[in-house]
Amino acid sequence: MQVKTIFAFSASAAFLSFAATAYSAEPGVMALSPSEMKWSSQGGLALPGLEQTILIGDPSKPGPYTIRLKFPAGFKVAPHTHPDSREVTVLSGTWHTGYGEKAEASGLKELPAGSFYTEPANIAHYVEIREPTVIQVSGTGPSGRKFVGPDAPK
């Protein structure tokens, strides 16, 4: 019985120590509420009409990054690729994405808030936003965007 008590106490102390460290001002530790995030329509992977906030790293430079992108209703992104593999989580709204060099409504998959998907490096994909939507993207830079196919902006 005494061993169980000591183990439980040690585990609790270790957890509390970790929890205290996670919210301290130690180097490399970050804890942001949504109101503390700074949104911008410039830099990184922003396109005219959308906003982004860079949480960690810089997508234009080598190394890991995490960003959030805010899209208005009616926004479309023509088929494009990225040089890096990325992981995407839909935080709010509904995201419609398809793969290929030609944007086709029949190829769109509807991803509601809470959904997750990947964008492998150099795989063409396109997006259609029907309601305000926020996504979170993580990858390893440098990243970028190259429009492809017949719908590519000139």
C-alpha–C-alpha distance, residues 119 and 85, integer Å: 6
Q: Angle 101-44-40 (CA atoms, 0-180°, nearest 5)?
A: 115
Q: State the CATH number of the domain containing residue 77.
A: 2.60.120.10
Q: Which domain holds residue 60?
A: 33-147
Are residues 17 and 44 both part of a single domain?
no
Give me the number of domains the chain comprises: 2
Is residue 21 in some structural domain? yes
Is residue 152 in some structural domain? no
Residue 17 contacts by C-beta under 8 Å, 6 or more apart in sequence?
none
Are residues 71 and 93 both part of a single domain?
yes
The model's pTM: 0.78
Q: What is the pLDDT of residue 47?
A: 78
Query: Residue type at 140?
Result: T
| Two structure tokens written together for 135 | 């996504």
C-alpha–C-alpha distance, residues 124 and 101, integer Å: 6
Q: What is the pLDDT of residue 45?
A: 63
Q: What is the pLDDT of residue 17?
A: 38
Are residues 54 and 118 both part of a single domain?
yes
Are residues 49 and 107 both part of a single domain?
yes
Residue 28 contacts by C-beta under 8 Å, 6 or more apart in sequence?
none
| Two structure tokens written together for 8 | 């439980």
Are residues 23 and 76 both part of a single domain?
no
Is residue 25 in some structural domain? yes
Is residue 153 in some structural domain? no
Q: What is the pLDDT along the chain (154 residues), one digit of tens a residue?
A: 444 444 343 444 433 333 333 344 556 788 999 999 999 887 666 678 899 999 999 999 999 999 999 999 999 999 999 999 999 999 999 999 999 999 999 999 999 999 999 999 999 999 999 999 999 999 999 999 999 988 787 7
Is residue 56 in some structural domain? yes
Are residues 44 and 15 both part of a single domain?
no
Our CA dihedral for 10, 13, 16, 18, rounded to 10 degrees, sits at: -70
Q: What is the pLDDT of residue 146?
A: 94
Do the beta carbons of residue 143 and residue 82 sit within 8 Å?
Answer: yes
Q: What is the pLDDT of residue 30?
A: 87
